[in-house]
Protein backbone atom coordinates (compact mmCIF):
# COMPACT_ATOMS: atom_id res chain seq x y z
CA UNK A 1 0.00 0.00 0.00
CA UNK A 2 1.41 3.39 -0.98
CA UNK A 3 1.63 6.05 1.73
CA UNK A 4 -0.97 8.86 1.68
CA UNK A 5 -0.03 11.92 -0.34
CA UNK A 6 1.57 14.72 1.65
CA UNK A 7 -1.18 17.15 0.76
CA UNK A 8 -3.99 14.94 2.11
CA UNK A 9 -6.67 16.96 3.88
CA UNK A 10 -9.16 14.22 4.81
CA UNK A 11 -9.07 12.09 7.93
CA UNK A 12 -6.43 9.39 7.72
CA UNK A 13 -6.98 5.87 8.99
CA UNK A 14 -4.67 4.66 11.78
CA UNK A 15 -2.55 2.59 9.38
CA UNK A 16 -2.29 5.52 6.98
CA UNK A 17 -1.19 7.85 9.78
CA UNK A 18 1.45 5.31 10.81
CA UNK A 19 2.75 5.21 7.24
CA UNK A 20 3.15 8.99 7.19
CA UNK A 21 4.98 8.99 10.54
CA UNK A 22 7.38 6.28 9.35
CA UNK A 23 7.93 8.08 6.06
CA UNK A 24 8.78 11.26 7.93
CA UNK A 25 11.29 9.35 10.05
CA UNK A 26 12.94 8.04 6.87
CA UNK A 27 12.85 11.12 4.66
CA UNK A 28 12.53 14.01 7.17
CA UNK A 29 10.11 15.82 4.89
CA UNK A 30 8.44 18.69 6.73
CA UNK A 31 5.28 18.19 4.69
CA UNK A 32 4.81 14.83 6.38
CA UNK A 33 5.38 16.43 9.76
CA UNK A 34 2.80 19.11 8.98
CA UNK A 35 0.33 16.46 7.81
CA UNK A 36 0.69 14.44 11.02
CA UNK A 37 0.33 17.51 13.21
CA UNK A 38 -2.80 18.55 11.33
CA UNK A 39 -4.27 15.09 11.79
CA UNK A 40 -3.66 14.98 15.56
CA UNK A 41 -4.36 18.65 16.32
CA UNK A 42 -7.86 17.87 17.70
CA UNK A 43 -6.22 15.33 20.04
CA UNK A 44 -3.65 17.90 21.19
CA UNK A 45 -6.32 20.48 21.94
CA UNK A 46 -8.43 17.91 23.77
CA UNK A 47 -5.54 16.90 26.04
CA UNK A 48 -4.71 20.54 26.79
CA UNK A 49 -8.31 21.40 27.68
CA UNK A 50 -8.47 18.38 29.97
CA UNK A 51 -5.66 19.58 32.26
CA UNK A 52 -5.77 23.36 31.73
CA UNK A 53 -5.69 25.48 34.91
CA UNK A 54 -6.88 29.08 35.34
CA UNK A 55 -3.32 30.27 36.08
CA UNK A 56 -2.00 29.00 32.72
CA UNK A 57 -2.71 30.35 29.24
CA UNK A 58 -4.16 27.85 26.76
CA UNK A 59 -1.66 28.82 24.05
CA UNK A 60 1.32 28.26 26.37
CA UNK A 61 0.19 24.78 27.33
CA UNK A 62 -0.81 24.03 23.74
CA UNK A 63 2.74 24.73 22.60
CA UNK A 64 4.11 22.43 25.30
CA UNK A 65 1.84 19.61 24.15
CA UNK A 66 2.55 20.29 20.47
CA UNK A 67 6.32 20.12 20.96
CA UNK A 68 5.87 16.85 22.84
CA UNK A 69 3.87 15.46 19.92
CA UNK A 70 6.62 16.45 17.49
CA UNK A 71 9.13 14.62 19.67
CA UNK A 72 6.84 11.59 19.81
CA UNK A 73 6.71 11.54 16.02
CA UNK A 74 10.49 11.10 15.95
CA UNK A 75 10.59 8.39 18.65
CA UNK A 76 7.54 6.23 17.87
CA UNK A 77 8.13 2.67 16.67
CA UNK A 78 5.39 0.41 15.23
CA UNK A 79 6.66 -2.54 17.29
CA UNK A 80 6.54 -0.59 20.56
CA UNK A 81 3.16 -1.95 21.60
CA UNK A 82 1.16 1.28 21.21
CA UNK A 83 -0.40 3.17 18.33
CA UNK A 84 1.14 6.51 17.43
CA UNK A 85 -1.75 8.49 18.90
CA UNK A 86 -1.50 6.57 22.18
CA UNK A 87 2.26 7.10 22.28
CA UNK A 88 1.85 10.81 21.48
CA UNK A 89 -0.84 11.18 24.15
CA UNK A 90 1.47 9.75 26.81
CA UNK A 91 4.26 12.08 25.68
CA UNK A 92 1.98 15.13 25.77
CA UNK A 93 0.54 14.27 29.18
CA UNK A 94 4.02 13.78 30.61
CA UNK A 95 5.28 17.06 29.14
CA UNK A 96 2.32 19.03 30.52
CA UNK A 97 2.73 17.41 33.93
CA UNK A 98 6.38 18.46 33.99
CA UNK A 99 5.39 21.95 32.87
CA UNK A 100 3.02 22.35 35.80
CA UNK A 101 5.60 20.92 38.17
CA UNK A 102 8.55 23.01 36.99
CA UNK A 103 7.21 26.22 35.50
CA UNK A 104 4.15 27.39 37.43
CA UNK A 105 5.74 28.00 40.84
CA UNK A 106 6.22 31.63 41.89
CA UNK A 107 9.06 30.79 44.28
CA UNK A 108 11.81 28.32 43.35
CA UNK A 109 11.74 25.09 45.32
CA UNK A 110 13.49 21.78 44.70
CA UNK A 111 11.85 19.12 42.56
CA UNK A 112 11.66 16.72 45.52
CA UNK A 113 9.81 19.38 47.54
CA UNK A 114 7.38 19.94 44.65
CA UNK A 115 6.67 16.22 44.50
CA UNK A 116 6.06 16.13 48.25
CA UNK A 117 3.71 19.09 47.88
CA UNK A 118 1.68 17.26 45.23
CA UNK A 119 1.47 14.14 47.43
CA UNK A 120 0.41 16.14 50.48
CA UNK A 121 -2.28 17.93 48.48
CA UNK A 122 -3.59 14.68 47.01
CA UNK A 123 -3.75 12.80 50.33
CA UNK A 124 -5.30 15.80 52.07
CA UNK A 125 -8.12 15.81 49.53
CA UNK A 126 -8.61 12.05 49.99
CA UNK A 127 -8.74 12.48 53.77
CA UNK A 128 -11.23 15.36 53.54
CA UNK A 129 -13.44 13.24 51.25
CA UNK A 130 -13.34 10.30 53.67
CA UNK A 131 -13.74 12.26 56.93
CA UNK A 132 -15.43 15.52 55.96
CA UNK A 133 -12.76 17.69 57.60
CA UNK A 134 -9.11 18.72 57.35
CA UNK A 135 -6.51 16.36 58.80
CA UNK A 136 -3.92 17.28 61.38
CA UNK A 137 -0.30 16.65 60.50
CA UNK A 138 -0.27 13.45 62.61
CA UNK A 139 -3.47 12.20 60.98
CA UNK A 140 -2.17 12.96 57.52
CA UNK A 141 1.08 11.11 58.29
CA UNK A 142 -0.84 8.02 59.41
CA UNK A 143 -3.21 8.26 56.45
CA UNK A 144 -0.57 8.76 53.74
CA UNK A 145 2.39 6.79 55.10
CA UNK A 146 4.55 9.91 54.85
CA UNK A 147 6.65 11.20 57.72
CA UNK A 148 5.74 14.39 59.56
CA UNK A 149 8.90 15.97 58.20
CA UNK A 150 7.94 15.13 54.61
CA UNK A 151 4.48 16.58 55.16
CA UNK A 152 5.99 19.75 56.61
CA UNK A 153 8.29 20.15 53.61
CA UNK A 154 5.41 19.53 51.22
CA UNK A 155 3.22 22.12 52.92
CA UNK A 156 5.96 24.72 52.90
CA UNK A 157 6.50 24.05 49.20
CA UNK A 158 2.77 24.39 48.53
CA UNK A 159 2.84 27.91 49.95
CA UNK A 160 5.44 28.81 47.31
CA UNK A 161 3.15 27.77 44.43
CA UNK A 162 1.33 31.07 44.35
CA UNK A 163 2.36 34.43 45.73
CA UNK A 164 0.72 37.83 45.64
CA UNK A 165 2.03 40.27 43.10
CA UNK A 166 3.13 43.65 44.42
CA UNK A 167 0.99 45.12 41.64
CA UNK A 168 -2.28 43.57 42.79
CA UNK A 169 -4.90 46.29 43.23
CA UNK A 170 -6.50 46.62 46.65
CA UNK A 171 -9.64 48.54 47.50
CA UNK A 172 -11.58 50.97 45.39
CA UNK A 173 -8.84 53.59 45.10
CA UNK A 174 -6.55 51.32 43.08
CA UNK A 175 -3.71 51.23 45.63
CA UNK A 176 -1.24 48.37 45.24
CA UNK A 177 0.19 45.96 47.80
CA UNK A 178 3.66 47.26 46.99
CA UNK A 179 2.61 50.71 48.18
CA UNK A 180 2.36 49.34 51.73
CA UNK A 181 6.08 48.54 51.78
CA UNK A 182 8.18 51.36 53.27
CA UNK A 183 10.34 53.32 50.85
CA UNK A 184 13.95 52.21 51.26
CA UNK A 185 15.13 55.75 50.64
CA UNK A 186 13.57 57.04 53.88
CA UNK A 187 15.07 56.76 57.35
CA UNK A 188 13.32 53.91 59.18
CA UNK A 189 9.63 53.07 59.19
CA UNK A 190 6.89 55.58 59.24
CA UNK A 191 5.75 55.54 62.87
CA UNK A 192 2.15 56.42 62.09
CA UNK A 193 1.87 53.65 59.48
CA UNK A 194 3.33 51.15 61.93
CA UNK A 195 0.81 52.18 64.59
CA UNK A 196 -2.03 51.72 62.09
CA UNK A 197 -0.76 48.27 61.10
CA UNK A 198 -0.51 47.13 64.72
CA UNK A 199 -3.99 48.44 65.41
CA UNK A 200 -5.41 46.44 62.51
CA UNK A 201 -3.61 43.29 63.70
CA UNK A 202 -5.03 43.75 67.22
CA UNK A 203 -8.52 44.00 65.71
CA UNK A 204 -8.26 40.53 64.17
CA UNK A 205 -10.05 37.55 65.81
CA UNK A 206 -8.04 35.96 68.61
CA UNK A 207 -6.70 32.95 66.69
CA UNK A 208 -5.83 34.93 63.57
CA UNK A 209 -4.12 37.60 65.65
CA UNK A 210 -2.05 34.94 67.39
CA UNK A 211 -1.08 33.32 64.08
CA UNK A 212 0.10 36.65 62.66
CA UNK A 213 2.03 37.36 65.87
CA UNK A 214 3.74 33.95 65.89
CA UNK A 215 4.62 34.25 62.20
CA UNK A 216 5.86 37.83 61.97
CA UNK A 217 6.97 38.66 65.49
CA UNK A 218 8.32 35.31 66.70
CA UNK A 219 9.40 34.06 63.25
CA UNK A 220 7.84 30.61 63.65
CA UNK A 221 7.23 28.36 60.66
CA UNK A 222 3.70 27.48 59.65
CA UNK A 223 4.30 23.96 60.91
CA UNK A 224 5.31 25.23 64.34
CA UNK A 225 2.32 27.57 64.44
CA UNK A 226 -0.04 24.72 63.51
CA UNK A 227 1.22 22.67 66.45
CA UNK A 228 0.72 25.60 68.85
CA UNK A 229 -2.78 26.58 67.77
CA UNK A 230 -4.02 23.03 67.16
CA UNK A 231 -4.96 23.01 63.50
CA UNK A 232 -3.49 21.85 60.20
CA UNK A 233 -0.64 23.69 58.55
CA UNK A 234 -2.77 24.28 55.48
CA UNK A 235 -5.41 25.95 57.65
CA UNK A 236 -2.70 28.16 59.17
CA UNK A 237 -1.66 29.19 55.67
CA UNK A 238 -5.24 30.08 54.74
CA UNK A 239 -5.86 32.02 57.95
CA UNK A 240 -2.60 33.92 57.52
CA UNK A 241 -3.49 34.91 53.96
CA UNK A 242 -6.97 35.98 55.02
CA UNK A 243 -5.66 37.99 57.96
CA UNK A 244 -3.08 39.84 55.87
CA UNK A 245 -5.68 40.54 53.20
CA UNK A 246 -8.01 41.99 55.84
CA UNK A 247 -5.24 44.21 57.27
CA UNK A 248 -4.26 45.44 53.81
CA UNK A 249 -7.83 46.19 52.75
CA UNK A 250 -8.52 48.11 55.97
CA UNK A 251 -5.30 50.09 55.64
CA UNK A 252 -6.09 51.04 52.05
CA UNK A 253 -9.68 51.91 52.94
What architecture is domain 175-252? Orthogonal Bundle (1.10)
The whole-angstrom separation of Cα 15 and Cα 186 is 72
- CATH number for the 14-103 domain, one of 3.40.50.10300, 1.10.1740.10, 1.50.10.10, 2.40.240.10? 1.10.1740.10
Q: What's the pLDDT score for residue 14?
A: 94
Banded pLDDT at 109 (limits 50, 70, 90):
low
Given a cut of 60, is residue 183 above it in pLDDT? no
Domains 14-103 and 175-252 share a fold: no
DSSP letter at 167 equals T
Between these two residues, 55 and 105, which has the higher pLDDT value?
Answer: 55
For 67-96, give the DSSP string. Answer: HHHHHHHHH--TTSSS-HHHHHHHHHHHHH
**pLDDT score of 143 more than 50:** yes
Q: What CATH topology corresponds to 111-158?
A: Arc Repressor Mutant, subunit A (1.10.10)
**pLDDT class of 193 with cuts at 50, 70, 90:** low
Tell me the per-residue pLDDT of 23-52, one tens digit each, with 9 for 90 and over.
Answer: 999 999 989 999 999 999 999 999 999 988
How many angstroms separate the CA atoms of 34 and 44, rounded?
Answer: 14
The domain limits of the chain are: 14-103, 111-158, 175-252
Amino acid sequence: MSPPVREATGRLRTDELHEVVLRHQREHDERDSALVMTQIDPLIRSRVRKVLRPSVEFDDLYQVARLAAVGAMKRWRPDGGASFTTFATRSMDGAMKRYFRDRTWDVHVTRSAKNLSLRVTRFTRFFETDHGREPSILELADYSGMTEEEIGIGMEAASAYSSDSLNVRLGGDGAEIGSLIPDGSTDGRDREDLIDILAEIRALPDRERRIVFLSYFQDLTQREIAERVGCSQMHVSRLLRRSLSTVRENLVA
